[in-house]
Amino acid sequence: MNIDPPPFSSFVHDGLKLSFFDEGDPAGPPVLLIHGFASSASVNWVYPGWLKTLGDAGFRVIAIDNRGHGASDKPHDPEAYYAPLMADDAAALLDHLGLPDAHVMGYSMGARLSAFLTLRHPHRVRSLVLGGLGIGMIDGVGEWDPIADALLAPSIDDVSHERGRMFRAFADQTKSDRLALAACIRTSRDLISADEVGHIDVPTLIGVGTRDDIAGSAQELAALMPDARAIDIPNRDHMLAVGDRVFKKAVLDFYAALGEA
């Protein structure tokens, strides 16, 4: 199915021009979507059907291209990509749109940024959906320096590291700025402590694919939070879980239980 991305707008924050779309019912409950590493608002949320799913359910659907990604500015300095800085971009988008708060959904790196957004600006987040990242948010998700090396390699043929090849192929497929991504992966992996996660008290849904070897346990993360529940996304790995119908239904059910769908 050919899905065309919606029109994008931009705003400036922290000296960077950042791209976003704002679609769906302007009077509906706002959902702010934050995509994963090496992805974009279109790749993460439009092509897998999230814009349509949430728009058809009556939501106002807002998604940002994180710095270094999509149509947003792409600094090559790793100092630009610490998670708190990127989370503040999302808060600045809410400011730009005049929204006091929103439901927030992030996938993978976007889930980490969503958690930082909630910790730094708790009054801006109505609820959280964290996809593709479980207890790895606290424990870490393995060695990622080989991914930076893979992104900087002259050719994917020069990359032997399995996870490095996966992300290099994804970056090539999305025609990403590999220097920006290599800078991002070096500094955006700030961990959150178990104590900090325990202070995230908004209603939270955590979804991880049963074949995801990156995210870590959704159930272990949910157990540390006062109002969180976890779901398994059956037979999906890290790359494929995001658009899964089980995940979409769980999110719509989650919002319905909050009285928002």
Domains annotated for the chain, with CATH where assigned, are 9-140+191-257 (3.40.50.1820)
Rounded distance between C-alpha atoms, residue 96 and residue 31, angstroms = 15
The β-bridge relationship of strands 60-64 and 16-24 is antiparallel
CA 204 to chain centre: 14
Region 110-138: what's the mean pLDDT?
A: 97
Residue 141 has pLDDT above 90, yes or no: no
Q: Cα–Cα distance between 25 and 60 in angstroms, integer?
A: 5
pLDDT tens-digit series, residues 11-31: 999 999 999 999 999 999 999
- Residue-level pLDDT at 2: 57
Average pLDDT, the chain: 95
pLDDT above 70: residue 261: no
Which of 76, 70, 77, 80 has its CA nearest to residue 38? Answer: 70
What confidence tens digit (pLDDT) does each residue in 30-51 have?
A: 999 999 999 999 999 999 999 9
Report the predicted TM-score, pTM, of the whole model to 2 decimal places: 0.96
How many other CB atoms are there within 10 angstroms of residue 91's CB atom? 17
Q: Are strands 16-24 and 9-13 parallel, antiparallel or unpaired?
A: antiparallel
Among 156, 177, 180, which residue's Cα sits nearest to residue 78? 180
Q: What is the mean pLDDT of residues 90-96?
A: 98
Q: Is the pLDDT of residue 222 over 60?
A: yes
Q: Tokens 């991914």 label which residue?
A: 147
Share above pLDDT 90 across residues of the chain, in percent, rounded to a whole number:
86
Strands 125-131 and 60-64: unpaired
